[in-house]
Every structure is written in C-alpha cells, then in structure tokens.
Structure 1
Amino acid sequence: MTRPEALFPLFAELETLPGVGPKAAQAFRTLGVERPKDLLYLMPHSVVDRALRASVRDVTPPATLTVEVEVGQHVPPRRKGGPYRVHVRDRKLEFTLVFFHARTDYLQKLLPTGQRRLVSGKVELFDGMAQIVHPDHVLRPDEADEIPAYEPVYPLAAGLTQKLVQKAVAGALARVPDLGEWIDAGLKSREGWPDWTRALHMVHAPDGPAGLAPDHPARQRLAYDELFAHQLMLSIARARLRRGKGIETRGDGHLRARVLKSLPYAPTGAQVRAVAEIEADMARPVRMNRLLQGDVGAGKTLVAFQALLIAVEAGGQGVMMAPTEILARQHFEGLEPLARAAGVRLELLTGRDRGAERAAKLADLAAGRIPILVGTHAVFQKDVAFHDLRLAVVDEQHRFGVAQRMELAAKGRAVDVLVMTATPIPRSLALATHGDMDVSVLDEKPAGRKPIRTAMVPAERLDEVVDHLRKAVAEGRQAYWVCPLVEESEVVDYASAEERFRSLRAALGDRVGLVHGQMPPAEKDAAMARFVAGETSVLVATTVIEVGVNVPNATIMVIERAETFGLAQLHQLRGRVGRGEAQSTCLLLYQPPLSETGRRRLKTIRDTEDGFRIAEEDLAMRGAGDLIGTAQSGLPRFRVADLERQAGLMGLAQSDARKLLHDDPGLSGPRGEAARALLWLMDQDRALRLISVG
C-alpha cells in the first residue's frame, strides 16, 4: 500500500519549490495547498491579456498593456518619498513609468537611457497623461518570450503574490512524472481529451479566456479525473461491502399482507417496485446498500416498514435510525399503527432511556423479543446487542456519509442497509454523494393526495392572510406560520418569531402556539405535541418544523419572507401540509420588489410540486454546495469539476469506474496501476487499503 515512487517529488514539502519559504507555505495552506501536487489543481480563475501592442494608443486606459519602448530621461523625486519618473516612447506616443521608494542605481540599471525595453503593466491616465505605475515586467527585447500572451491569474491568500504563485506552479509542473493513462482509451479519443500531463500544462497556460471555460478539453479532462477518482473510491467501497458475506433474508409475505390489508388505499406502482427491488437485494448473499429516494409525501415510510417486515418474516430483526430524537419519536408514532396491523412488537430507544427501563429493553432486544427497534444513533452504543439483526434503515442520509456507511460495515455485522432521503437530489449530485449505492426512486404521489394550491402574496396583503386564517381556524382547521431567517443569529430569528406570535395572538386569540430554535427541547416537544393534539390551531415557527412533522389536519402553510428561503427548503416546508383529506394551501408571502432569482424561485415553487424538477432548478440556480449545505452534506470538494456545468461527466465516471473494477478487481493491470496513482493524487488512497485487504 505504498505510494508509487514516481509521485514522491509531488508529495514533498512545499518549501522544496522555488520561492516558497515557511511563511508562503503557511499562506498556501489557507488555499488548501499542502503539497506540490495540490498546486497542479489550483486553477487560474482569469487571464491577463499581455499580447504585445504597438502603442499606448491601441488600448483604452485603464488597461493592461505590453509595449516596446525607447527609454528617455530619468527624473528623480523632488522630495523624499515622492515619485521617480522615467520618460519612455513607443512607436506613436510618449508616456511615463512611475516608481515609488525605488533606488536610483537599480532603476538606471533596469531602464538605461537610450536603450529599448519591453514593459508590461497597467496603463492609467493622470492629468491627461498616460502612465504605468510599477510595471509588472521590464525585459530586454530578446527576452520577449518570457511574457506569456495570456498570463494566468490565481486565487491568492494574505502573504502570496501572483508572481510567487506562478513560480511555485511552474515548479510543481516541472515535477510531473510520466504516468500511465487511467481513462478508458475509447472514451478519451471520443471526447478528444489530451493526456494528463498535456492537460495540466494547458490549464496553467491558457490561450485566452476560452482556456478557462469548463467545456475546454483540458479542463474537462482534469474534471473527469477528479470525478473518476471519486467514483472509483465509492465503487471500491461498494465492492468491499458486497464481498462481505451477506445473509440471505427471505420473507414469506404474511406480515406484509396484513399491513396492506389494513390500509385504506393501495400502494403506488413506485412503492410496489421499490419493495420488489429491496426484497430481491435482501435475498441475495451479498449485502444490500440501497438508497430510497422519495419526494415529500411519496410514502417512504410504508416502503421502509415493508422492508423491516421482510427481516422479521425471515426470523430476524430490523432497526430504523433517525438523526434526532424528535424524528425518531415521529417515526415510531408513524410506524405504530402499521406494527399493530402486522401484530409485531415495536420499541423506541433514544438517549432518554435510563436505568431499569433501558436495561429491560436491551435484554428483550438481545433475546430477540423486540423484532423492530426505532432509535437515534444511540442504537450503536457498545451495550446494545441484537439477537439477529438483518436490516438497518437509516433516515436522512446527509448526516450519514460514506465514512459512516463504511463504519457500519466494519462493525462486522453483515446487515443490509437501506437509506431514506426526503430530499430529491438531481442525478449528478446523487451520484456524487451516493455513488456507492443502488437507488430506488419513489416518483409517484399516493392516491388521494390532493395537490396543494400555492400562491404568491405581497407583504402588504398581510391583513387578508390573517383574515383567511381566522375563517379557517373557526372551521376547525390548523395552520403553520413560518417566520423568516432574519440573520444567522438565532436571537434575532427568535425575536421576529416572538413578535409574529404576539400579533397573531392578538388577532386570533390563545389558540396560537410558538416553537423556535432557542427553546429547551422539552418545551419544544410540548409545543409540538399541543399542535399535534389540536389544542393549538396555528403554530408559529422558525424552520425547526422543516423535517418530518406530520399533522394531517394542518392544511395551511404561510411562509413569511418566502424569498429568503432556498428552493429545497420551500419545497420541504410546503410538504408539511397536504397530508390529510382536505384541500391544502401554501401562501408565499414576499417583500416586493423581488430580485430576478427571488422571482424565479417563488415561481418554480408555485408552478410545480415535483421535487426532482425543483431540485434540478435549484442546482442550476445555486450550485451544488449550497444545495445540500456543504458543511454537512458529505458532498466531496472538487477543485476542477463543476457539478452544475459538468453534470454529465459524473454518470460517465461512475459507469467507467464500475467497469474498470469489474474487469480488474485488484487494479493490477496497466490501467489499474495508473488508476492507483490517480487515487493517490486525489487523496483517495484510503480506498486502496480496502482493495489490499482483499
């Protein structure tokens, strides 16, 4: 598992590069550059046009100019610290070079009177005269080729200059070894991509602004390398999971039949299909690793519960894990009627269970007397033992990334894993975050779900909205009123929610409740419970109600300052209503005038309830990191690849990676060896450990 020797120079200390001392190395680290190899992927974000011009007259100041001049008279400063001027003349015009705090002897050597020099820098007008203050380059005419026609401009951090970064990048490029090709030959020639080394040299010496575009062949090639390495790592993790002997779990269907008989409706085609896919996976001798992706209200719970029943029918146990206690409790309440119909014992285990009660549950679990357990991650604590665990259902994937999935596998439990997510993710992102999994999609709404009427309402019509609420409450209906995220500070949000709560209470009486992020958990739970029980009719809330709350009687959702929310968030919030028999409404209150993106966002929500369409639109508008909140998304950080503009490459990379592993599971052939080098370059070498234990 050692790093290939050819890569050693690229993994040396940064200080071994020309011009990089300890201070610069520290500054580079803030840009995420730790080793010379990282500089190869520090992409220039723009170019400076330094093509040679005949005269100052050929550009409109202020602009960058490269021109050949004859050096004239030097005029030293009149007072200390004043400007030192050098008069120069190009083919058509005379202008001035200006220097501050420069030594006379140095300038006379740099610009000897009567000689010709090439100068390049920013030309500006000062009192109607053209001048260049501190030119970037002053060279002899025979050194002209030292100035590139287009000079790359790199991101900087405090303590770095463009010159220093350019020099360090050149130093890293000089160390690039000759590596084998890891891209499939047919794909490479079909796409017209250059070799790796050639691509690196091209992106760092762009031939004009077009050289920076995501669709430039060199950029595409390097983006593909990055996505391919990522998919290869996921495919290796997937193959490792599959190598771990799974248990063949086959149910006879008797418990599932009871549940389906008790339901007032038939499952959708998508639900039936998803259960069939899961059933087939569980019956195989390899471990299941499947993602169940469903829109708000697409009926994931029923599918997950049927999967759990397959485990029970086969004589085993199942567990459902949620990220928070409130969600675990909700899953438990949602599954209870189904468990009653099946005649199966269901228990809840969270951090709140203490003492004798907890001990009794653990004893029953270990003896196999609890077939289905719902809980938070507490179910993975040391003292929790199952009698025969077959299936783990994990809710809300984003807090459970690839690393945690590997960990679950490493516990040596050959359990099948089913992950549920309510966030419809566009395909390119689903592959980035869940490329190691097989995917089942629920793309139909259950029968009897009425569409939600959505309207955009300007803030000045607030009084009408309150009147509308008054009537609805009188008819016994319930409503959510979501307050805006005013600032990142919880305190301000809390103040705005408090204020809205008071004004609605004045208008509607004491049937108005309040829940926000600053409340102690027990108070929050109590406020939610009162709303669920129908004791309060209107619940004023900050976005804490976004995930999982289920109150079928709630038919109105008011979102205040809707333009401040993201598309996915608006979609999730709207999904809190429309869960019962009655017609539901979602009112998007906005503050005019709307920005162009604000209008586009609200119109998208108004015009469609299809979460996948909304997610694609969101990706186009916001970018991948924001879409699932980069901090907790488990979304890899790509340096070259741009998931919005190069989405198509991700699917290619996945099928290519899976094919390579299928043909060469040990990565020992020529292309496999090259791919190993790529995994090292992309810091995905931990995947190689999974192969080497094979």
Structure 2
Amino acid sequence: MRDERLFPLFQPVDKLPGIGPKLKPVFERLVDGETVWDLLLHLPEKWLDRRVRDSFQDLVSGEVSTVRGEVMSYKAPYSDRAPHRIQLFDGSGFLTLTYFRADPRWLQGQFPIGKERIVSGLVSEFQGERQMSHPDHVVDPTRGEPPPPVEPIYRLTAGLTNKRVHSAMTAALELVPEDLPEWLGSDLVAAQQWPGFKAALSGLHTPDAYDPDAFELARRRLSYDEALAREIIFAFARESRTRRTAPPLEGPNDPLNALSARLPYKLTSAQRRAVREIADDVARPHPMRRMLQGDVGAGKTLVAVMAALKAVSSGYQAAFMAPTEVLARQQFETVAGLLAPLGHEVAILTGREKGPKRESTLMGLADGSIHVAVGTQALFQESVSFRNLGLIVVDEQHRFGVADRMRLIEKASAPHMLVMSATPIPRTLAQAVHGDLDISVLDEKPAGRQPIETRAIPDTRIEDVVEAIGRAIDRGERVFWVCPRVDSDEDDSSAVARAAALEDWLGQKVGLVHGRLRGDQKDEALEAFRRGDTKVLVATTVIEVGVDVPDATVMVIERAEGFGLAQLHQLRGRVGRGDRKSYCILLYRPPLGEIAHKRLETLRETEDGFAIAEADFKLRGPGDVLGVRQSGAVDYRIVDLQADADLIEIARKDARYAIETDPGLTSDRGQALSILRELLSPLVRQRE
C-alpha cells in the first residue's frame, strides 16, 4: 500500500491550479507522465542570475543581466525595419534598449525621460555599444520589486511558457509532505553536505538566491535518491533469486576439456575467466543471471557453448535464443559444429521449420533427446516444451523485451540465464544499466585475429574506393557497403541508389538489405552473400550485429560522419573474421565538424571497443552509446551518468547492505526506504 502522505503527489497534474483540460495533455507531453510528481521531476535545465548589477561596466555580451539606470533619451525608428531606441545611463556608461515594431506611446509611457528603470534581459553588442533587445523585465523601482534574483529555466514544449511551468512547479511543491522521514544515512548527508529531500526540490525549482554550488548539491542529492531507489530494486531482485531453487549444474569438467582440446586455438585468459565465473554460478542452487559482455570478435559464443556443455553434462538441456533467423542459423552452425562431434544433439527452431521436421524437433525437446536448441522467438511459443531446461543463452539481449525473456524462462521452473551483448559499455554505465546482473567481460581477442586497417576518405574519391573493392572481388573477397538510409530522391548515398550504381560500375549483381524488406527477403539476401552468390552487399545498419561472413574483408561506411562511434565500431566488426587482411573505409562528406572529426580519428587509432565506448560516452552520452533506448538502460530522470558515476557505486553498496540487514524493510530506515522506492521505483523497469 502506498504511504498516504504521498497521495497528493500522485494526483493527476490537472489538480494543480491553472492547469485545465486544454493544458493537461500539454503538461503530460512535457513531463512524459500524468502526475504532480512527474512534473516535479522535470528539473530546470539552468538558472538565470537576475540580481541587479552594480554597474553597466559589469555587463558581458551574451549573458542575461539585470541593471538599473536613468532614461536619457528615446529615438523613434527611421524605417519600419529599424528599432525604437531607448538610452539608459547609470553614471558609469550607457545601455541602449531596442524594440522592433513597438507602440511608441506604450514605450514613452514605460520609459519617461529622467525616470529610473530596472531592466533585465540578454546583453549584446552592436557597433561598439552595449544594448538589450526587448528586455524580459521592465520595473519602475518606485512602484514594484526588481525581478526575482534567480529564475529557473525549463525545457518547454509547444503551448507552454517558462512562467507557466514555473507557476505549476511552485504549486506542486506545496504538495510535497513536510514530514517525510530521511532515508539517507546521516553520515553520508553530512559528508556530502546535502540538503534534505524537500529542501533539494525547493532549492532547484524555487531557489532564494543564485548559487550554482547549491544547485549542484541539491541535484546530486536527488540523483542519489534516484540511484538508491534503482539499486534497492536490483538488490531485491538478487535477494529474491537466492530464495528460488535452480538445478545445480555440477557435471564433470571432462567434456569441457575435450572441447578445448579439439579447438585449433587456445582460449584467451578472458574466456577462461568467464567460463570459471559461469561454472561457479551454475553450480549454485539459485538461478544465475549473468551478462557476458565482449567486443566484436571476442569469442562470446564459444564461452556460451562451454556453459551449454556444462548444462548438458549435468543432465539438462540448453537453449540459445537469437533475435533474427539469420543470426540463429549462424549460431546453430557454430554450436552444432562444436557440440555434435562430442555426441550431443543440437537442433534449430525458427519460423522456417515446418511440417515433419518441426514436429520431430518438438518431440526431441520434449523427451530430452535433443540436448541443445538454437532458435528465434519460436523457442517460447506455446507448442514448445522442454524435458528439463537448465540454461538459457540470450544473444544480443538488448533486442529482446523483458516479456520475451520471461516467456522462455517459463519453459522451466528456474533455469540459469546467460545474456550476451556485443556492445562494449563503459564500466560505470554497465553498472548503472545491469545492476541486477553479474557481469563477465571479454576484453581480449582470440590469437590470430587480423587487425582491421581503418581509413577515412572524403566521398570525392568514391571512384577510387569502387576500384579498390573491384580488386578485392577479383581476389575472391567480399565487400559490405553500408548506407545511412534506405531511399532518398535527393541523396545518392541511400542504399537503393548505391546498390544500383555499384551494379552499373562493377558489372555484376549486388545484394541489398534494409529494414523495409520482409524478414524472408532479408534472410535470402544475407544468405546469398554468405554463400558467395553475391560478392557485394549494400545495406543499412540492419547488418550491424552478428552477421558472420569470414570471406568479407572490406567494410565501406558511406556518410560515416553521421554515425556514432559505437555503431561504426560494430559495423567495422563485420569484417576481419577470417585470416585475410581486412579494411574499413570511412567515406565522409567534407567539411567535417569537430565532433565528427574526433569520432573518425578515434576509430582510426584503436580497435579496442571499450576504449571506443568510453570516447563515445564522453562525446554523445549514454543513450547513443547503447544505441537503443528500449533496452531500459537510460531511464533515469535525474541521474547524470557521466557526472554521477561515483554516486551509483555508493548507492549499490548502500542498497545491498540495507537489504541484507533488513530484508523486509521493517526498521525505521527500512520504512523510509520503502517511501523512496514508492516515489522513484516506477521509473525503473522491472527485471525478471
């Protein structure tokens, strides 16, 4: 039950004065929510210093300032395009106020000669003189108060002004209870010099003074509240799993050693470490939830196969789920190639399997004669049942929703789960995103991998690039060519136009894959490229993840300046998978902006996905590093993942200690944390 003190905060936003039926949907759109509390979480983007300056000499062009001066003159415009000009003097110098298309009688009433006025607005410079165009505030000091010393500025949407939003915030703050208990430890609050919860909200929405340090302390306080609420959810998820029973997978290590002995290469130390971490997890009688995070080509699938072999050798089945049929078939070939020689039955199940073959697979899964299943979402359809599913491996996990994973988990009582991601994430971000998962990182590449030579080339040299890929084709190699969009009448860098042009230039059929094609059409084009029926594949970013073509040695990315670093790195990872020298050509349209230049330069300098992710994090922020917001990774409303990294780690330890010492949250602090969870846990997507 929700604490009754919070009821006013969870009222609809139109319960606030001044928000009627017409404004209600506008406010809801602005704050991406429906309640008063959603509104209060819409924090100001900045604060304007409206304190009255001592002198015109203090004014800086480009800044908002407030000054006091005597009206010296008024000049009417000499044409319709010229402004009205009012000159103020404060003893130190002059400031010109300009108004375009204003009523001269109104202006003369506002600015009588010889009278003092307080004005506030953006200062600029024109022909060597300071001026202020259309001041935000004009005050007669004998009749009114100067503007508030500080003005919060909010992100707005059509139909709302900053003044209206601030008025609503002021009313909303009145509904925040005064008697909420403090859920943070007193030592932490004192060490960080943080205000209380309501004081922090008030200090951001209705500050008494312009104090950037105070604003940051208040923001950090609320950021920690949000981080702690999220970590409480994660800590509960972990604690809940310890109360669920999973089959301990304690089979012998001999099969793993046999598989290792058959490999033509040695596992990297990172792979061996990940295999040990997974083996330790699955040997416990509680369900494993572990993420295997690795750069492109780091050998995640082999580690997952080792985990599956551990399950099978313990008498259980394993299931691999991939997001597309092409990736599922690639994964099936790899898994079957490794496990079938050891005597294990591996089957594939996708939408393409029909008739007797499908029935045979379903029977084999149900009676246990099929040890490992590889497939798409077809694996969790109602007709599919496993005899004793012990391990689930989810590839490219961010492309599945929680509901998808839950439906597969329901195929067993409490299976272990390993999720894999080829998107390197900075450690700080990984902790914030996957706080409910243990994480294994593959930060090495297998021996023998050829480095990929990366070159940035202006698109004025596109003919040279086409000649180069023609030579690669003559050597029996294959080429990816990635375009930023599917089709455009105004831009020849679209996939459809580029495929047609390349067919003309190269004199041979060119494959084409993009998001508007049906699934079977995409699969057919990718398979033709893998088989070598087509030597060049033009595509959009649908081929960003998982497509494995060892004979592909050239990746051309057109309009590369428009892609993010992480995405460019993922695309580059489609080549360099065989034993031949590989190249990535970044075709850009000059001139390059500063950030685009840094992006391409970073990619040229390193193939380390984690270093690239750190650089991308700094350049673009967490949402773009991950590439997909639907992953649930960046649903913070207050926390700044770059500025508040230290808070996340403190909150994690704080939450785990709180749940370990008070699992029911029944103590005084536990009850306060329950209130915090009610306030901020709706912002955290629930995990399985």
Bucket of the pairwise TM-score, normalised by the shorter protein: 0.7 to 0.9
The change in CA–CA distance for 1:410 and 1:137 in structure 2 (over 3 A counts) is farther
Equivalent residue, structure 1, for 2:184: 183
The change in CA–CA distance for 1:193 and 1:129 in structure 2 (over 3 A counts) is closer
**8 A contact 1:46–1:212 mirrored in 2:** no
**8 A contact 1:88–1:97 mirrored in 2:** no
**8 A contact 1:18–1:167 mirrored in 2:** no
Equivalent residue, structure 2, for 1:200: 201
Correspondence list, 1:570-585, <5 A: 570-585=568-583
**8 A contact 1:484–1:542 mirrored in 2:** yes
SS of residue in 1 equivalent to 2:315: coil
Q: Deviations over 1:443-486 (max 9, x none)?
A: 1111111222222223333333333333333232x132323214
**8 A contact 1:319–1:392 mirrored in 2:** yes
TM-score (norm 1): 0.86
Equivalent residue, structure 2, for 1:24: 23
Deviation at residue 414 of structure 1 after TM alignment: 0.4
Moved more, 290-299 or 47-56: 47-56
Following the alignment from structure 2 to structure 1, what is the Cα–Cα distance between the partners of residues 509 and 459?
23
Equivalent residue, structure 1, for 2:42: 42
Correspondence list, 1:370-381, <5 A: 370-381=370-381
Equivalent residue, structure 2, for 1:80: none
SS of residue in 2 equivalent to 1:22: coil
SS of residue in 2 equivalent to 1:23: coil
Moved more, 512-521 or 311-320: 512-521
Correspondence list, 1:449-598, <5 A: 449-476=449-476, 478-486=477-485, 496-510=494-508, 512-598=510-596
The change in CA–CA distance for 1:594 and 1:212 in structure 2 (over 3 A counts) is farther
Deviation at residue 173 of structure 1 after TM alignment: 1.9
Deviation at residue 669 of structure 1 after TM alignment: 1.5
**8 A contact 1:258–1:341 mirrored in 2:** no
Moved more, 636-645 or 54-63: 54-63
SS of residue in 2 equivalent to 1:588: strand
**8 A contact 1:229–1:684 mirrored in 2:** no
Q: Is 1:227 aligned with 2:224? A: no
**Counterpart pick for 1:653 among 617, 626, 651:** 651
Following the alignment from structure 2 to structure 1, what is the Cα–Cα distance between the partners of residues 175 and 588?
56
**8 A contact 2:478–2:535 mirrored in 1:** yes
**8 A contact 2:380–2:407 mirrored in 1:** no
Following the alignment from structure 2 to structure 1, what is the Cα–Cα distance between the partners of residues 622 and 565?
13
Moved more, 585-594 or 371-380: 585-594
Report the residue type matching 2:519 in the other structure. P
Following the alignment from structure 2 to structure 1, what is the Cα–Cα distance between the partners of residues 440 and 132?
65
Following the alignment from structure 1 to structure 2, what is the Cα–Cα distance between the partners of residues 687 and 456?
40
**8 A contact 1:676–1:688 mirrored in 2:** no
Following the alignment from structure 1 to structure 2, what is the Cα–Cα distance between the partners of residues 73 and 465?
67
Deviation at residue 597 of structure 1 after TM alignment: 1.2
Report the residue type matching 1:223 in the other structure. S
**Counterpart pick for 2:632 among 627, 631, 634:** 634
Following the alignment from structure 1 to structure 2, what is the Cα–Cα distance between the partners of residues 517 and 485?
12
Correspondence list, 1:291-306, <5 A: 291-306=291-306
Following the alignment from structure 1 to structure 2, what is the Cα–Cα distance between the partners of residues 89 and 49?
22
Following the alignment from structure 1 to structure 2, what is the Cα–Cα distance between the partners of residues 271 and 521?
33
Structure 2's unaligned 5+ residue stretches are 75-82
Equivalent residue, structure 2, for 1:251: 251
**Counterpart pick for 1:643 among 637, 641, 644:** 641
Q: Deviations over 1:361-394 (max 9, x none)?
A: 2122111111100111221122211100000101
**Counterpart pick for 1:210 among 204, 209, 212:** 212
Equivalent residue, structure 1, for 2:609: 611
Equivalent residue, structure 1, for 2:669: 671
Q: Is 1:427 aligned with 2:427? A: yes
TM-score (norm 2): 0.87
**8 A contact 2:320–2:373 mirrored in 1:** yes
Following the alignment from structure 1 to structure 2, what is the Cα–Cα distance between the partners of residues 243 and 320?
26
Following the alignment from structure 1 to structure 2, what is the Cα–Cα distance between the partners of residues 129 and 322?
63
Deviation at residue 68 of structure 1 after TM alignment: 6.2
**8 A contact 2:386–2:411 mirrored in 1:** no
Following the alignment from structure 2 to structure 1, what is the Cα–Cα distance between the partners of residues 489 and 609?
32
Equivalent residue, structure 2, for 1:79: none
Deviation at residue 208 of structure 1 after TM alignment: 3.4
Following the alignment from structure 2 to structure 1, what is the Cα–Cα distance between the partners of residues 386 and 232?
33
Following the alignment from structure 1 to structure 2, what is the Cα–Cα distance between the partners of residues 636 and 675?
22
Correspondence list, 1:133-212, <5 A: 136=137, 138=139, 144=145, 147-177=147-177, 178-204=179-205, 205=207, 207-208=209-210, 210-211=212-213
Identity %: 46
Report the residue type matching 2:587 in the other structure. L
**8 A contact 2:230–2:684 mirrored in 1:** no
Following the alignment from structure 1 to structure 2, what is the Cα–Cα distance between the partners of residues 331 and 688?
29
Report the residue type matching 1:431 in the other structure. Q
Report the residue type matching 1:612 in the other structure. F
Following the alignment from structure 1 to structure 2, what is the Cα–Cα distance between the partners of residues 499 and 294?
35
Q: Deviations over 1:508-541 (max 9, x none)?
A: 4426433333444334333322322233333333
Following the alignment from structure 1 to structure 2, what is the Cα–Cα distance between the partners of residues 98 and 461?
51
**8 A contact 2:377–2:404 mirrored in 1:** no
The change in CA–CA distance for 1:18 and 1:549 in structure 2 (over 3 A counts) is same
Deviation at residue 575 of structure 1 after TM alignment: 1.1
Deviation at residue 94 of structure 1 after TM alignment: 11
The change in CA–CA distance for 1:130 and 1:390 in structure 2 (over 3 A counts) is closer
Report the residue type matching 1:577 in the other structure. V
SS of residue in 2 equivalent to 1:320: strand
The change in CA–CA distance for 1:396 and 1:123 in structure 2 (over 3 A counts) is closer
**8 A contact 1:45–1:212 mirrored in 2:** no
Structure 1's unaligned 5+ residue stretches are 75-82
Following the alignment from structure 1 to structure 2, what is the Cα–Cα distance between the partners of residues 551 and 129?
64
Deviation at residue 395 of structure 1 after TM alignment: 0.7
SS of residue in 2 equivalent to 1:34: coil
Following the alignment from structure 1 to structure 2, what is the Cα–Cα distance between the partners of residues 94 and 580?
70
Moved more, 276-285 or 540-549: 540-549
Following the alignment from structure 1 to structure 2, what is the Cα–Cα distance between the partners of residues 15 and 586?
55
Correspondence list, 1:356-395, <5 A: 356-395=356-395
Aligned residues: 678
Equivalent residue, structure 2, for 1:600: 598
Deviation at residue 618 of structure 1 after TM alignment: 0.7
Deviation at residue 125 of structure 1 after TM alignment: 11
Equivalent residue, structure 2, for 1:260: 260
Equivalent residue, structure 2, for 1:337: 337
Equivalent residue, structure 2, for 1:310: 310
Report the residue type matching 1:336 in the other structure. A
SS of residue in 1 equivalent to 2:548: coil
The change in CA–CA distance for 1:664 and 1:114 in structure 2 (over 3 A counts) is same
SS of residue in 1 equivalent to 2:318: strand
Following the alignment from structure 1 to structure 2, what is the Cα–Cα distance between the partners of residues 427 and 98?
53
The change in CA–CA distance for 1:142 and 1:553 in structure 2 (over 3 A counts) is same
Equivalent residue, structure 1, for 2:11: 12
Deviation at residue 182 of structure 1 after TM alignment: 2.2
The change in CA–CA distance for 1:55 and 1:416 in structure 2 (over 3 A counts) is same
The change in CA–CA distance for 1:69 and 1:592 in structure 2 (over 3 A counts) is closer
Following the alignment from structure 1 to structure 2, what is the Cα–Cα distance between the partners of residues 636 and 274?
26
The change in CA–CA distance for 1:378 and 1:51 in structure 2 (over 3 A counts) is same
Deviation at residue 497 of structure 1 after TM alignment: 2.9
Following the alignment from structure 1 to structure 2, what is the Cα–Cα distance between the partners of residues 511 and 405?
40
SS of residue in 2 equivalent to 1:457: strand
Deviation at residue 662 of structure 1 after TM alignment: 1.4
**8 A contact 2:493–2:558 mirrored in 1:** no
Correspondence list, 1:52-63, <5 A: 52-53=52-53, 59=59
Moved more, 39-48 or 508-517: 508-517
Moved more, 370-379 or 427-436: 427-436
Following the alignment from structure 1 to structure 2, what is the Cα–Cα distance between the partners of residues 492 and 133?
41
